[in-house]
């Protein structure tokens, strides 16, 4: 049982005040250490328009997530005494869309009544947070998102191993982790399909993504400004394109942007770029 505070935080209720017996589907982060109690804060959706990737990799991830919610698959696992768990690792160089793909799944997960826990402390998950969520709803699907999975593994490897396939690990659990350094993930986590059934390397963004992102996220820029931003950052991660578009919005002219860009982008990326 949880109760709400005026700050929108939910924690295990010590009495009958403002009871929330069932968490609304949505995204939460653990703030227990901040309040020295078991507590969750709802994550506020970003005001930035979502950018949707439609790539073969995204479709593979989507199919894996859809399979997690397939009741027939759940029934087959239960029939032979297996727990219902899936895991996905997305890895590759920075700026290739891994975290965009992960966040793109959130509306789909919420539609299926999932509680999504973002970057939560593994020490609290199995023995505190998940039991609190399941106390009045034992079959509730829970999704764990880790934005920097290599960092979380380095801090809590044993806890994550236990969470994924220990004797007491939770049922109906989906874990998705992103990392720029796949080699930092211990082999104990990544070499068993029961822990992570889909491990997907994403090396580069597909052609045309920079153009579509600039048009979708920055519609107030002129076509010429967007084309300049795309041309300047074509072979670079998405975040460089966004920086250039934001410079235009801040009132910088193309010459100034080119000069500033040389200070923030890899040196080799600026060779051969021309100003308008």
Tell whether pTM > 0.75. Answer: yes
197 and 63 belong to one structural domain: yes
Write out the two tokens for 14. Answer: 């010590």
According to DSSP, the residues that pair with 81 across neighbouring strands are: none
185 and 234 belong to one structural domain: no
Does the pLDDT of residue 275 top 50, yes or no?
no
Domain presence at residue 48: no
Domain presence at residue 181: yes
82 and 20 belong to one structural domain: no
pLDDT at 270: 43
How far, in Å, CA of 260 to CA of 256, rounded?
Answer: 6
- 12 falls in which pLDDT band (50, 70, 90)? confident
Q: How many CB atoms lie within 10 A of CB 97?
A: 23
According to DSSP, the residues that pair with 175 across neighbouring strands are: 87, 144
Q: What is the mean pLDDT of the chain?
A: 82
Radius of gyration over every alpha carbon of the chain, rounded to an integer in angstroms: 21
95 and 74 belong to one structural domain: yes
- 32 falls in which pLDDT band (50, 70, 90)? confident
pLDDT one-digit tens code per residue, 153-187: 877 777 787 777 766 678 889 999 999 999 988 88
Segments forming the whole domain that contains residue 32? 2-42
Alpha helices in the chain (DSSP H): 32-35, 56-68, 71-79, 98-104, 106-111, 122-124, 130-134, 149-165, 187-190, 209-217, 223-233, 238-249, 254-264
How far, in Å, CA of 190 to CA of 176, rounded?
Answer: 12
How far, in Å, CA of 204 to CA of 237, rounded?
Answer: 8
Burial of 235 (C-beta count, 10 Å sphere; 0-12/13-18/19+) = exposed
131 and 259 belong to one structural domain: no
pLDDT one-digit tens code per residue, 61-97: 999 999 999 989 888 888 888 888 889 999 998 878 8
38 and 77 belong to one structural domain: no
194 and 249 belong to one structural domain: no
CATH number, residue 86: 3.40.50.300
Domain presence at residue 47: no
How far, in Å, CA of 64 to CA of 77, rounded?
Answer: 16
Picking from 150, 184, 201, the residue at the C-terminal end of a domain is 201
Proportion of the chain in helix, strand, coil states, percent, rounded to 5: 45, 15, 40
How far, in Å, CA of 140 to CA of 133, rounded?
Answer: 8
């Amino acid at each position: 049982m949880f109760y709400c505070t005026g700050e929108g935080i939910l924690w295990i209720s010590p009495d009958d005040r403002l009871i929330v017996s069932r968490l609304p589907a949505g995204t939460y982060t653990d703030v227990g250490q901040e309040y020295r109690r078991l507590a969750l804060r709802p994550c506020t959706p970003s005001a930035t328009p979502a950018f949707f990737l439609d790539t073969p990799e995204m479709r593979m991830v989507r199919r894996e997530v859809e399979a997690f919610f397939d009741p027939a698959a759940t029934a087959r696992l239960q029939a032979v005494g297996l727990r219902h768990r899936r895991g996905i690792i997305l890895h590759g160089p920075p700026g290739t869309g891994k975290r965009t793909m992960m966040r793109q799944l959130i509306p789909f997960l919420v539609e299926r009544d999932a509680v999504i826990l973002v970057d939560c402390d593994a020490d609290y998950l199995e023995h505190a947070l998940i039991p609190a969520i399941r106390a009045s709803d034992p079959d509730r699907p829970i999704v764990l998102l880790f934005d920097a999975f290599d960092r979380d593994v380095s801090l809590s490897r044993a806890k994550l191993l236990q969470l994924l396939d220990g004797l007491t690990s939770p049922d109906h659990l989906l874990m998705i982790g992103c990392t720029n350094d796949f080699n930092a993930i211990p082999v104990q986590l990544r070499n068993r399909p029961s822990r992570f059934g889909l491990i997907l390397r994403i090396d580069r963004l597909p052609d045309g993504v920079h153009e579509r992102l600039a048009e979708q996220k920055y519609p107030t820029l002129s076509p010429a400004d967007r084309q300049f931003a795309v041309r300047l950052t074509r072979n670079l991660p998405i975040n460089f394109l966004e920086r250039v578009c934001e410079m235009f919005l801040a009132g910088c002219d193309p010459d100034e942007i080119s000069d500033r860009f040389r200070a923030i982008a890899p040196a080799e990326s600026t060779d051969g770029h021309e100003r308008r």
